[in-house]
Chain A
Amino acid sequence: MNLRAPLSTAVAIGFGLLVLLGIFIPDLADLRNRILTWAMLLAAMALLLGLLNLFQVHYQRIRAKEKSVYSLVLIVAMVITFALTLLQGSDSASAEWVFNYIVVPIETSLMAVLAISLTLAAARTFQHRTDLMNLVFIGTLLVLLLGAGPLFGMELPYFTGVLSPYINNVLALGAMRGLLMGVALGTITTGVRILIGADRPYGA
């Protein structure tokens, strides 16, 4: 008989309810904070397991000679960074050097690639999607771009002073609030499904 499934479901529901009740019942607040601290410690351990998984996946690729150069670079960089931060601390000069001169430039470059990718994606969207929502998207984008600043040294007062602020402050804000309400409703129902054990992502 598999006892693990009902046990893990009971633990998940029990701790979920305790954390939820801790918000409404002040006497349970301390217990709730303690549970959250445990969860944070577990998350830190899980991060280590995640890094181990990353290491294993790329180690296997090297052994299988499957794009092994990239995997080798990743593993060498990972081991060096891990050793540096472990031996000298995460706020040491060497860790800061790695962050400022390797991590930040690479992520900034990806951000630059993203800017180009998004421009191309927007152009593709104009070509392929011809529904009403896409026309609204294109129209809004054009108005906001025209209202963003002077065009060839010439300001378009109707766009900068009236249309663009109206779209930003009224239409876009209203739509954003509608979307956020939808997200909030989805979050509540998903949370309830976990709390009543209808969803069991822990594999029970």
Chain B
Amino acid sequence: MMPSPLAILALVVALMLLFSVWKGGKRRTLRNIPALQRLQRSIELSVEDGSRLQVNLGHGGILSTHSAAALAGLTLLQQVAEVAADSDLPPVATSGEGTLMLLAQDTLRSTYRRIGIADQFNLHLAQTTGTTPFAYAAGTLPSVLDRTALSTAMLGEFGPEAGLIADAAHRSEGFSIGGSPSLSTQAVLFAAAHEPLLGEELYAAGAYTKASKMHEASLRTQDVLRWVLILLLLFTAISPLLGGSE
């Protein structure tokens, strides 16, 4: 019998709430994702040497099927802004769609307000650089190539054009990290980016940049559900061999 989607959703909510209040002693460590650990170091280095960090949110809007990826990118943007907003070169966000640009502006504005530097915020910190995938990539390239942004994070809906941005980061001797829900883009990023984020790693960025306890809880929920899925798949594969199915 298939569980209903509402039951799955209720289970996810329950697990997330449980993990967000559960202390769990000293063993509460996150699993090792080298790409995200390097991203954390890259954010710290950007603050120290005063270089700019650019968060690219992709060309999918909030109405697309992969909007969650862009929302993960916005979480990263908020974290980056919190630590680097008052530096000489504050972080910038690029997007290839209007709704994402507005959300990025709102995210930056509220972060600037929260840390008490609202007067330093300007709308051009979040830009729409193009409205088709390649136009978006072409509009994003100059700031990477002229070394204005030495660290480039791509978290959102990207197509193969992400390879152009990652390659530009490599040529300007910068750092690039990238994740996308599209499998072909993940393959492109595996080859082109310094640190590719594969599968669900894209959604774990918030937990590693210490966004909130709920991000950590949702990462643990993902891990639990992943094991449940693995066990279910194994059970489904083995049960016919044991004669438990027709």
Interface of A with B (CB < 8 Å)?
A: 20, 23-24, 36, 39-40, 42-43, 45-51, 53-54, 56-57, 60, 67, 70, 103, 106-107, 110-111, 113-114, 117-118, 120-122, 124-125, 137, 176, 178-183, 185-194, 196, 198-199, 201-204
* Contact status B128-A50, CB under 8 Å: yes
Q: A178-B199, A196-B13 are in contact. Are A121 and B99 (CB under 8 A)?
A: no
CB-CB nearest in chain A for B162: A114
Contacts of B200 in A (CB 8 A): 182-183, 185-186
* Complex interface: chain B residues within 8 A of A198 (CB): 212, 214-215
Interface secondary structure of B, over-half rule: helix
User: In the bound complex, how far is the Cα of B225 from the Cα of A182, in angstroms?
Assistant: 9
CB B71 to nearest CB in A, in angstroms, measures 5
Which A residues touch B206, using CB under 8 A?
A: 199
Stretch at the interface among B46-54, B183-191, B238-246: B183-191
Residues of the A chain whose Cβ atoms lie less than 8 Å from the Cβ of B164:
110, 113-114, 117
Instruction: Give chain B nearest CB distance to A143 CB in angstroms.
Output: 15
The interface residues of chain B lying within 8 Å CB-to-CB of A137 are: 190-191
Q: Which residues of B contact A190 (CB under 8 A)?
A: 68, 71-72, 203, 218
Whole-angstrom CA separation of A204 from B170 in the bound complex: 36
Nearest opposing residue in chain A for B204, CB measure: A186
Shortest Cβ distance from A188 into B: residue: B12
Q: Is the CB–CB distance between A24 and B5 below 8 Å?
A: yes
Knowing A45-B98, A118-B163, the reply to whether A179 touches B203 (Cβ < 8 A) is: no
* Complex: A76 Cα to B132 Cα, angstroms: 18
**B residues at A contact (CB < 8 Å):** 5-6, 8-9, 12-13, 16, 61-63, 66, 68-69, 71-72, 74-75, 78, 95, 97-99, 101-103, 106-107, 109-110, 123-124, 127-132, 134-135, 137-139, 142, 160-161, 163-164, 166-167, 170, 181, 183, 186, 188, 190-192, 198-204, 206, 212, 214-215, 218-219, 221-222, 225-226, 229
Report chain A residues within 8 Å CB of B160. Answer: 114, 118
CB-CB under 8 A from B225, the residues of chain A are: 185
Measured between beta carbons, the chain B residues less than 8 angstroms from A192 are: 9, 12-13, 16, 218
Ranked 5 nearest A-B pairs via Cβ? A186-B203, A46-B98, A182-B199, A203-B106, A182-B200
> With contacts A50-B131, A54-B128, A202-B103 known, is A187 near B181, CB below 8 A?
yes
Q: Give the distance to chain B from A46, nearest Cβ to Cβ, in Å.
A: 3
Question: Is the CB–CB distance between A67 and B183 below 8 Å?
Answer: no
Instruction: Name the residue of chain A whose CB is nearest to the CB of B78.
Output: A201
State A23–B225 Cα separation when bound (angstroms). Answer: 23
| A53-B101, A57-B124, A110-B164 known; A201 vs B71 contact (CB < 8 Å) | yes
A48 to B98, Cβ gap below 8 A?
yes
